[in-house]
Amino acid sequence: MSDTHSYKTLLVAVDGSAQADYALGHATALARDLGARLIIVSVVDSISLIATAGPYVAQTPDLIAIAHEEGKQILSAAAEFVAHSSVPYEKILADGSPIDQIIAIANQQNANMIVMGTHGRSGLGRLILGSVAEGVIHKSHVPVVIARVGTEKR
């Protein structure tokens, strides 16, 4: 069977967590090995911030501004990491549903693969809380690589 797949653009989702940092390392190595460019995406979920503001609803604009600033810092740290690898990259800060934004940006950027971490939720916690990684897997039309901390063989 001939290999007709070409992975020239990889999207990696980052949120500042250890799982996302781990996925960033894998995505960077993959991009380097494949000669691909990397799209680094961080998503601010303003809708959830507004929904959970409760008694602090008057401060929602401040909370959203803080979340955007944190997103910028997360992207800057990720870009600094990737810059040392000589992998070409672009960083994008998006606002909205993380699942929908990751899929939309992957489509807009013609990404051939999505790389992301997961918190590894299972059982009832996963059913109640849902999972961005799981949602992306179900909606994506390109391969999704899940880099899970602690799963590598030694």
DSSP state, residue 113: E
Res. 120: pLDDT tops 80: no
Mean pLDDT score, 90-118? 96
Q: In the numeric block, which tokens belong to residue 7?
A: 């992975």
Whole-number Å distance between alpha carbons of 103 and 114: 9
pLDDT for 3 beyond 60:
no
Which has the higher per-residue pLDDT, 28 or 56? 28
pLDDT digits over 17-54, tens only?
A: 899 999 999 999 999 999 999 999 999 988 777 777 66
Using alpha carbons, select from 71, 81, 76, 75 the residue that is nearest to residue 31: 81
83: its two tokens: 């810059």
Structure tokens at 103: 């899929």
Domains of the chain (ranges plus CATH)? 9-109 (3.40.50.620)
- Rounded alpha-carbon distances, angstroms, from residue 128 to 113, 122, 125, 131: 28, 10, 5, 9
For the stretch 89-103, pLDDT in tens is: 999 999 999 999 999
Q: Could you tell me the pTM of the whole model? A: 0.85
pLDDT at residue 127, rounded to an integer: 47
- Contact in structure between 57 and 67 (CB atoms under 8 Å): no
